Copies of this chain bind each other. A is one copy, B any other.
Protein backbone atom coordinates (compact mmCIF):
# COMPACT_ATOMS: atom_id res chain seq x y z
CA UNK A 1 0.00 0.00 0.00
CA UNK A 2 2.83 2.34 -0.90
CA UNK A 3 0.66 4.84 -2.69
CA UNK A 4 -1.56 5.66 0.26
CA UNK A 5 0.53 8.73 0.87
CA UNK A 6 -2.05 10.81 2.65
CA UNK A 7 -4.30 8.30 4.36
CA UNK A 8 -1.72 6.11 6.13
CA UNK A 9 -0.20 7.03 9.48
CA UNK A 10 3.32 8.31 9.20
CA UNK A 11 5.96 5.83 10.37
CA UNK A 12 7.38 8.37 12.82
CA UNK A 13 4.08 8.39 14.69
CA UNK A 14 4.15 7.42 18.32
CA UNK A 15 2.89 4.03 19.43
CA UNK A 16 -0.65 5.18 20.19
CA UNK A 17 -0.98 7.95 17.65
CA UNK A 18 -3.48 10.75 17.58
CA UNK A 19 -6.37 10.82 15.18
CA UNK A 20 -6.81 13.75 12.82
CA UNK A 21 -9.61 16.07 13.82
CA UNK A 22 -11.98 17.06 11.03
CA UNK A 23 -14.02 20.20 11.64
CA UNK A 24 -17.59 20.17 10.39
CA UNK A 25 -18.19 23.80 11.33
CA UNK A 26 -16.56 26.35 13.60
CA UNK A 27 -17.63 24.56 16.75
CA UNK A 28 -18.03 20.90 15.81
CA UNK A 29 -15.45 18.27 14.97
CA UNK A 30 -15.07 14.55 14.37
CA UNK A 31 -11.85 12.80 15.37
CA UNK A 32 -9.18 14.09 17.69
CA UNK A 33 -9.50 12.72 21.19
CA UNK A 34 -13.26 12.67 21.53
CA UNK A 35 -16.14 10.58 20.29
CA UNK A 36 -18.61 12.03 17.82
CA UNK A 37 -22.27 11.16 17.74
CA UNK A 38 -24.31 11.71 14.60
CA UNK A 39 -28.00 10.87 14.57
CA UNK A 40 -31.01 11.45 12.39
CA UNK A 41 -33.58 9.91 10.08
CA UNK A 42 -32.71 7.81 7.05
CA UNK A 43 -34.64 10.24 4.84
CA UNK A 44 -35.76 13.81 5.43
CA UNK A 45 -39.55 13.55 5.31
CA UNK A 46 -40.67 16.95 6.62
CA UNK A 47 -39.37 19.93 8.58
CA UNK A 48 -41.26 18.71 11.61
CA UNK A 49 -39.65 15.30 11.41
CA UNK A 50 -36.04 16.47 11.26
CA UNK A 51 -36.63 19.24 13.78
CA UNK A 52 -38.14 16.84 16.26
CA UNK A 53 -35.16 14.51 16.01
CA UNK A 54 -32.78 17.47 16.21
CA UNK A 55 -34.36 18.90 19.34
CA UNK A 56 -34.23 15.55 21.04
CA UNK A 57 -30.66 14.91 19.92
CA UNK A 58 -29.56 18.34 21.07
CA UNK A 59 -30.92 17.68 24.54
CA UNK A 60 -28.68 14.61 24.58
CA UNK A 61 -25.68 16.76 23.58
CA UNK A 62 -25.51 15.09 20.18
CA UNK A 63 -23.78 17.71 18.01
CA UNK A 64 -24.63 16.49 14.46
CA UNK A 65 -27.81 15.68 12.58
CA UNK A 66 -27.94 13.45 9.54
CA UNK A 67 -30.86 13.10 7.13
CA UNK A 68 -31.10 11.99 3.51
CA UNK A 69 -32.34 14.55 1.00
CA UNK A 70 -31.29 12.36 -1.93
CA UNK A 71 -31.89 8.63 -1.43
CA UNK A 72 -30.11 5.87 -3.33
CA UNK A 73 -32.80 3.21 -3.72
CA UNK A 74 -32.53 -0.20 -5.32
CA UNK A 75 -35.74 0.37 -7.30
CA UNK A 76 -36.35 3.43 -9.49
CA UNK A 77 -39.96 3.40 -8.29
CA UNK A 78 -39.09 3.83 -4.59
CA UNK A 79 -39.11 7.25 -2.88
CA UNK A 80 -35.98 9.04 -4.09
CA UNK A 81 -35.83 11.76 -1.43
CA UNK A 82 -37.21 15.31 -1.08
CA UNK A 83 -34.23 16.85 -2.87
CA UNK A 84 -33.85 20.61 -2.54
CA UNK A 85 -36.75 20.88 -0.11
CA UNK A 86 -35.07 18.35 2.14
CA UNK A 87 -31.85 20.34 2.04
CA UNK A 88 -33.75 23.46 3.05
CA UNK A 89 -35.18 21.61 6.05
CA UNK A 90 -31.68 20.57 7.12
CA UNK A 91 -30.51 24.15 6.76
CA UNK A 92 -33.38 25.25 8.97
CA UNK A 93 -32.27 22.73 11.62
CA UNK A 94 -28.77 24.07 11.40
CA UNK A 95 -29.87 27.66 11.84
CA UNK A 96 -32.27 26.89 14.67
CA UNK A 97 -30.18 24.46 16.72
CA UNK A 98 -26.60 25.24 15.81
CA UNK A 99 -26.05 21.54 15.05
CA UNK A 100 -23.88 20.47 12.14
CA UNK A 101 -25.98 18.90 9.38
CA UNK A 102 -24.95 16.05 7.08
CA UNK A 103 -26.57 14.52 4.01
CA UNK A 104 -25.66 12.12 1.24
CA UNK A 105 -24.91 13.22 -2.31
CA UNK A 106 -24.66 10.84 -5.24
CA UNK A 107 -23.50 13.08 -8.06
CA UNK A 108 -21.54 16.22 -8.74
CA UNK A 109 -24.78 18.01 -9.55
CA UNK A 110 -26.23 17.10 -6.14
CA UNK A 111 -22.98 18.09 -4.47
CA UNK A 112 -23.14 21.53 -6.04
CA UNK A 113 -26.81 21.94 -5.20
CA UNK A 114 -26.29 20.89 -1.57
CA UNK A 115 -23.15 22.96 -0.93
CA UNK A 116 -24.89 25.94 0.73
CA UNK A 117 -27.11 23.83 2.96
CA UNK A 118 -24.74 21.29 4.52
CA UNK A 119 -21.75 21.16 6.82
CA UNK A 120 -20.57 17.78 5.59
CA UNK A 121 -21.21 15.47 2.63
CA UNK A 122 -21.86 11.80 3.08
CA UNK A 123 -20.85 9.36 0.34
CA UNK A 124 -22.79 6.11 0.54
CA UNK A 125 -21.51 2.56 0.20
CA UNK A 126 -22.69 2.30 -3.42
CA UNK A 127 -20.60 5.31 -4.41
CA UNK A 128 -17.40 4.48 -2.54
CA UNK A 129 -15.74 3.83 -5.88
CA UNK A 130 -17.54 6.53 -7.85
CA UNK A 131 -14.14 7.95 -8.64
CA UNK A 132 -15.31 10.98 -10.64
CA UNK A 133 -17.45 12.09 -7.71
CA UNK A 134 -14.57 11.50 -5.28
CA UNK A 135 -12.30 13.71 -7.38
CA UNK A 136 -14.82 16.55 -7.30
CA UNK A 137 -15.22 16.18 -3.55
CA UNK A 138 -11.48 16.60 -3.36
CA UNK A 139 -11.59 19.88 -5.22
CA UNK A 140 -13.77 21.55 -2.58
CA UNK A 141 -13.18 21.84 1.15
CA UNK A 142 -16.32 20.62 2.92
CA UNK A 143 -15.63 17.46 4.95
CA UNK A 144 -16.71 14.10 3.57
CA UNK A 145 -17.97 11.05 5.45
CA UNK A 146 -16.96 8.19 3.19
CA UNK A 147 -18.82 4.94 3.79
CA UNK A 148 -17.16 1.63 3.02
CA UNK A 149 -18.54 -0.22 0.00
CA UNK A 150 -20.64 -3.34 0.48
CA UNK A 151 -17.77 -5.59 -0.52
CA UNK A 152 -14.80 -3.26 -0.46
CA UNK A 153 -11.53 -4.28 1.08
CA UNK A 154 -9.84 -2.08 3.67
CA UNK A 155 -7.22 -1.28 1.06
CA UNK A 156 -9.78 -0.17 -1.51
CA UNK A 157 -11.51 1.89 1.18
CA UNK A 158 -8.30 3.76 1.96
CA UNK A 159 -7.59 4.31 -1.74
CA UNK A 160 -11.01 5.92 -2.13
CA UNK A 161 -10.15 8.29 0.73
CA UNK A 162 -6.86 8.93 -1.02
CA UNK A 163 -8.80 9.97 -4.18
CA UNK A 164 -10.39 12.81 -2.22
CA UNK A 165 -7.22 13.81 -0.41
CA UNK A 166 -5.04 13.67 -3.51
CA UNK A 167 -7.14 16.48 -4.99
CA UNK A 168 -6.51 18.72 -2.00
CA UNK A 169 -9.27 18.07 0.54
CA UNK A 170 -7.85 16.53 3.75
CA UNK A 171 -11.21 16.48 5.55
CA UNK A 172 -12.15 12.83 5.19
CA UNK A 173 -13.98 10.74 7.79
CA UNK A 174 -14.29 6.98 7.22
CA UNK A 175 -17.39 5.00 8.16
CA UNK A 176 -17.79 1.23 8.49
CA UNK A 177 -21.42 0.31 7.84
CA UNK A 178 -21.35 -3.44 7.46
CA UNK A 179 -20.29 -5.61 4.57
CA UNK A 180 -22.35 -8.00 2.51
CA UNK A 181 -22.17 -11.63 3.49
CA UNK A 182 -24.03 -14.94 3.27
CA UNK A 183 -26.39 -14.75 6.25
CA UNK A 184 -29.50 -12.65 5.80
CA UNK A 185 -30.54 -12.76 9.45
CA UNK A 186 -28.76 -9.44 9.86
CA UNK A 187 -28.83 -6.91 7.01
CA UNK A 188 -25.05 -6.79 6.74
CA UNK A 189 -22.07 -7.97 8.76
CA UNK A 190 -20.57 -5.28 10.98
CA UNK A 191 -16.85 -5.65 10.37
CA UNK A 192 -15.37 -4.24 13.58
CA UNK A 193 -12.09 -6.04 12.93
CA UNK A 194 -11.72 -3.69 9.96
CA UNK A 195 -12.33 -0.75 12.28
CA UNK A 196 -9.54 -1.91 14.59
CA UNK A 197 -7.31 -2.38 11.55
CA UNK A 198 -8.18 1.04 10.15
CA UNK A 199 -7.33 2.64 13.50
CA UNK A 200 -3.88 1.07 13.15
CA UNK A 201 -3.34 2.04 9.54
CA UNK A 202 -4.81 5.49 9.09
CA UNK A 203 -4.86 8.78 10.96
CA UNK A 204 -8.35 9.54 9.64
CA UNK A 205 -11.31 9.36 12.03
CA UNK A 206 -13.37 6.18 11.73
CA UNK A 207 -17.09 6.05 12.48
CA UNK A 208 -19.32 3.02 12.94
CA UNK A 209 -22.87 2.90 11.58
CA UNK A 210 -24.66 0.20 13.60
CA UNK A 211 -28.00 0.86 11.89
CA UNK A 212 -27.12 -0.27 8.37
CA UNK A 213 -24.71 -2.87 9.73
CA UNK A 214 -27.38 -4.79 11.60
CA UNK A 215 -30.64 -3.60 10.02
CA UNK A 216 -32.51 -4.50 13.21
CA UNK A 217 -33.49 -2.01 15.91
CA UNK A 218 -32.80 -4.27 18.87
CA UNK A 219 -29.22 -4.87 17.74
CA UNK A 220 -28.28 -1.24 17.12
CA UNK A 221 -27.40 -0.25 20.69
CA UNK A 222 -25.29 -3.36 21.42
CA UNK A 223 -23.47 -2.85 18.12
CA UNK A 224 -22.87 0.81 18.93
CA UNK A 225 -21.40 -0.17 22.31
CA UNK A 226 -19.06 -2.58 20.52
CA UNK A 227 -18.06 0.11 18.04
CA UNK A 228 -17.07 2.45 20.85
CA UNK A 229 -15.27 -0.34 22.71
CA UNK A 230 -13.16 -1.34 19.71
CA UNK A 231 -11.93 2.21 19.34
CA UNK A 232 -14.10 3.91 16.72
CA UNK A 233 -14.10 7.71 16.77
CA UNK A 234 -17.85 7.97 16.73
CA UNK A 235 -21.23 6.50 15.94
CA UNK A 236 -23.58 7.35 13.07
CA UNK A 237 -27.07 6.16 13.85
CA UNK A 238 -30.55 6.35 12.34
CA UNK A 239 -33.32 7.75 14.52
CA UNK A 240 -36.91 8.68 13.71
CA UNK A 241 -39.73 10.18 15.78
CA UNK A 242 -42.00 7.29 14.79
CA UNK A 243 -39.68 4.55 13.46
CA UNK A 244 -42.42 2.30 12.16
CA UNK A 245 -43.64 5.17 9.93
CA UNK A 246 -40.21 5.82 8.43
CA UNK A 247 -40.44 5.89 4.63
CA UNK A 248 -37.21 3.90 4.40
CA UNK A 249 -35.25 1.53 6.61
CA UNK A 250 -38.03 1.46 9.21
CA UNK A 251 -36.77 -1.77 10.76
CA UNK A 252 -33.48 -0.30 11.85
CA UNK A 253 -34.38 3.24 13.02
CA UNK A 254 -34.17 4.02 16.72
CA UNK A 255 -37.01 5.87 18.40
CA UNK A 256 -36.15 9.04 20.29
CA UNK A 257 -36.39 7.10 23.54
CA UNK A 258 -34.00 4.54 22.08
CA UNK A 259 -31.66 7.41 21.29
CA UNK A 260 -31.73 8.48 24.93
CA UNK A 261 -31.00 4.88 25.93
CA UNK A 262 -28.14 4.71 23.41
CA UNK A 263 -26.41 7.71 24.95
CA UNK A 264 -26.97 6.33 28.42
CA UNK A 265 -25.30 3.05 27.46
CA UNK A 266 -22.48 4.49 25.37
CA UNK A 267 -21.15 6.89 27.97
CA UNK A 268 -19.84 4.30 30.47
CA UNK A 269 -18.29 2.25 27.64
CA UNK A 270 -16.57 5.38 26.33
CA UNK A 271 -15.30 6.15 29.81
CA UNK A 272 -14.13 2.55 30.21
CA UNK A 273 -11.67 3.08 27.36
CA UNK A 274 -10.71 6.57 28.49
CA UNK A 275 -12.82 8.60 26.07
CA UNK A 276 -15.67 11.06 26.29
CA UNK A 277 -18.24 12.42 23.85
CA UNK A 278 -17.74 15.67 22.01
CA UNK A 279 -20.23 18.33 23.04
CA UNK A 280 -20.92 21.22 20.76
CA UNK A 281 -20.92 24.07 23.26
CA UNK A 282 -21.92 26.56 20.61
CA UNK A 283 -24.87 24.42 19.65
CA UNK A 284 -25.88 24.23 23.29
CA UNK A 285 -26.01 27.99 23.30
CA UNK A 286 -27.84 28.42 20.00
CA UNK A 287 -31.17 28.29 21.77
CA UNK A 288 -31.47 28.93 25.44
CA UNK A 289 -34.13 26.47 26.38
CA UNK A 290 -35.80 23.43 25.04
CA UNK A 291 -39.07 25.32 25.05
CA UNK A 292 -37.64 27.89 22.68
CA UNK A 293 -36.54 25.12 20.36
CA UNK A 294 -39.85 23.37 20.50
CA UNK A 295 -41.67 26.39 19.21
CA UNK A 296 -40.38 25.51 15.78
CA UNK A 297 -41.81 22.00 15.93
CA UNK A 298 -45.60 22.34 16.05
CA UNK A 299 -46.53 18.67 15.91
CA UNK A 300 -44.40 17.82 18.88
CA UNK A 301 -45.80 20.68 20.90
CA UNK A 302 -49.35 19.71 20.18
CA UNK A 303 -48.45 16.18 21.17
CA UNK A 304 -47.24 17.30 24.59
Interfacial residues, chain A to chain B (CB-CB below 8 A)? 3, 72-77, 106-110, 126-127, 129-133, 135, 150-151, 153-156, 159, 162-163, 166-167, 178-186, 188-194, 196-197, 199-200, 213-214, 216, 218-219, 222-223, 225-231, 265, 268-269, 271-273
**Chain B minimum-CB-distance residue to A270:** B272
Give the chain B neighbours of A183 by CB distance below 8 A.
153-154, 179, 191, 194
B186 touches A194 (CB 8 A): yes
- Per the bound structure, the CA–CA distance linking A151 and B72 in Å amounts to 16
B130 touches A126 (CB 8 A): yes
- Per the bound structure, the CA–CA distance linking A192 and B220 in Å amounts to 11
Using A196-B214, A229-B229 as known contacts, say yes or no to A153 and B178 having CB atoms under 8 A apart.
no
A193 touches B197 (CB 8 A): no
A72 touches B129 (CB 8 A): yes
Give min CB distance, A126 to chain B, whole Å.
4
Give the chain B neighbours of A200 by CB distance below 8 A.
218-219
A132 touches B155 (CB 8 A): no
Give min CB distance, A251 to chain B, whole Å.
13
A107 touches B126 (CB 8 A): no
Give the chain B neighbours of A269 by CB distance below 8 A.
229, 269, 272-273
Using A77-B166, A107-B132, A229-B269 as known contacts, say yes or no to A184 and B181 having CB atoms under 8 A apart.
no
**Chain B minimum-CB-distance residue to A227:** B226
- Per the bound structure, the CA–CA distance linking A177 and B109 in Å amounts to 30
- Per the bound structure, the CA–CA distance linking A230 and B273 in Å amounts to 15
**Chain B minimum-CB-distance residue to A71:** B131
Give min CB distance, A204 to chain B, whole Å.
15
